[in-house]
Amino acid sequence: MKAYWFSNEEKKLRFRDNRVVSIGLTHEVKGSPELLTNGLHASVKVLNALRSATSCNLFIVDLGGEIVKSHDWFIATERTYLKSHNIEKTLKEFARKWALINVEDIMSHCSGVEYELILNFLNSGDEGLRLAARSAARSAVDSAPGLSAAHSAWASTHSNTLFSARSAVDSDNWWPLTHPAANEMLTEMIHNETGWDRIEE
């Protein structure tokens, strides 16, 4: 079965396994697959796979052998690596697009100048605006700490791409369940960039 999986920066298996990951290669493990205990993991929801990502190296994998499902994860005794793409640029854009959905909610919690600065960054992704936009978004968070739109805007300005993408959505309290709309947005963006076929859930 096809699914999504993120490698680490070194494109090696984690948890002291250290086997190298490469396209066309199949890894196998012994024993029965069990979530977080034994087996090779992947998810048909890219946003769920992002939850445990340590890099932006996204793979399409094919799980085989014995397969079990636990929540939104599939754990298998075999995993073959079919396609790979670094989606850092897409994740940054995704965080900004998600923050834009409800950005108007922060207007009353920051100045007009701050709001325009945040809006310009979210629309453009201009790195020259990021630090100033981050400071402006932080003011909105401090003014309304429980406002998800303020948190999303602030998260989208973070320099750590993985934190930015996860936290922009995390403000809606979607963990551990994958937010359907956010998952659909990110999946569509990835497949538009890569030309990959969609994975059926």
- Residue 180: is the preceding peptide bond cis (ω within 30°)? no
The more confident residue out of 36 and 131 is 131
Categorize the per-residue pLDDT at 19 as very low, low, confident or very high, splitting at 50, 70 and 90.
Answer: very high
**Tens-place pLDDT, residues 87-103:** 999 999 999 999 999 99
**Tens-place pLDDT, residues 132-161:** 999 999 999 999 988 989 999 999 999 999
Question: Do the Cβ atoms of 57 and 83 come closer than 8 Å?
Answer: no
Q: If you count them, how many residues does the chain have?
A: 201
The more confident residue out of 35 and 56 is 56
Inform me whether the pLDDT recorded for 177 exceeds 60: no
Inform me whether the pLDDT recorded for 59 exceeds 60: yes
C-alpha span between 125 and 114 (Å, rounded): 16
pLDDT of residue 171: 61
Question: Do the Cβ atoms of 73 and 181 come closer than 8 Å?
Answer: no
* pTM of the shown model: 0.93
